[in-house]
Structure 1
């Protein structure tokens, strides 16, 4: 058995779970999410727990077992508490501004970069210039954070660019100048 897949998922307070066929719908204070459970995985909603069982023992089915349980656990956490990803913008003149559902980034290009946030994702900039992206869906949040980072990933010489909070950048040494033969 999958060690992750066999562990039951506890339903938090204030979250309602409905099952219709192989679709699992979760509703909470942070929003609504749906997940289509693969056909090879069976699930039961019993009181405060959701349990998952698999129909076969092939490698693919065993992988789907843990994935279905992890996706459901992430959905429950997302609609009850939500997920946050913080991006640190490093560089002179580099900054972000949020106007409605559009993030405007000034990243040293000749033009500002505008990124329209998808539905279900919110962003805000704090006084330190850090960009906080929030969503109930962990997968959507990771994709949005990756898209924002891809506009100007941290460069290896000075470390300028958009990076995740606490991301370690290994800086390279510059060209050796004035070394004798």
Structure 2
């Protein structure tokens, strides 16, 4: 039994939730999102929130059960508060700036790296070494942060590169004489 799947997803105040067959839609202050639940799960809207139950006791149905419940909870959180990821640039000369909707990164290459954010994602550069990514969809925010980090992942000797805020970089010892 899924401990997460058993719990109903409470509908936050200010969110209009609808269940139409396998489609769960939510409308809140940040916008509107919807999620189509796998056919191995049943979705019902009750007084205590959205309840997800598996159709049968197969392994596939049980694995979709908790995932579907979590995705619905993420939709409700996304339309009310949104999601945010912070990145830090570590290294001499590494900096970021916004030119319109394009993020321009100087990461020690012979050229600047340019990245256009997808729709629904907002990128802010506070200091030249700090990037903030925010949006409604948790999956897309994480993908954008991972893509920007992949331009120059942190290396283990000096820790230079693009890293998540608060990420610990395991350091290696250099050569011995």
Q: Same fold (TM over 0.5)?
A: yes
Unaligned runs of 5+ in 2: none
Q: What TM-score comes out, normalization by structure 1 length?
A: 0.94
Identify the residue that residue 169 of structure 1 maps to in structure 2.
169
Identify the residue that residue 116 of structure 1 maps to in structure 2.
116
Q: What TM-score comes out, normalization by structure 2 length?
A: 0.96
Unaligned runs of 5+ in 1: none
Secondary structure of 1:152's aligned partner: coil
Offset from partner CA, 1:85-121 (integer Å, 9 cap, x none) = 0001101110111233221111001111011111111
Secondary structure of 1:103's aligned partner: strand
Identify the residue that residue 54 of structure 1 maps to in structure 2.
54
Identify the residue that residue 134 of structure 1 maps to in structure 2.
134
Identify the residue that residue 44 of structure 2 maps to in structure 1.
44
Offset from partner CA, 1:29-51 (integer Å, 9 cap, x none) = 12221111001111111235111
Cα drift, residue 129 of structure 1 = 2.5
How far, CA to CA, are the matches of 2:29 and 2:66 in structure 1? 26
Residue 21, structure 1, aligned to residue 25, structure 2: no
Q: Greater shift after overlay, 133-142 or 122-131?
A: 122-131
Runs of 4+ in 1 over 4 A off after TM superposition: none
How far, CA to CA, are the matches of 1:15 and 1:102 in structure 2? 32
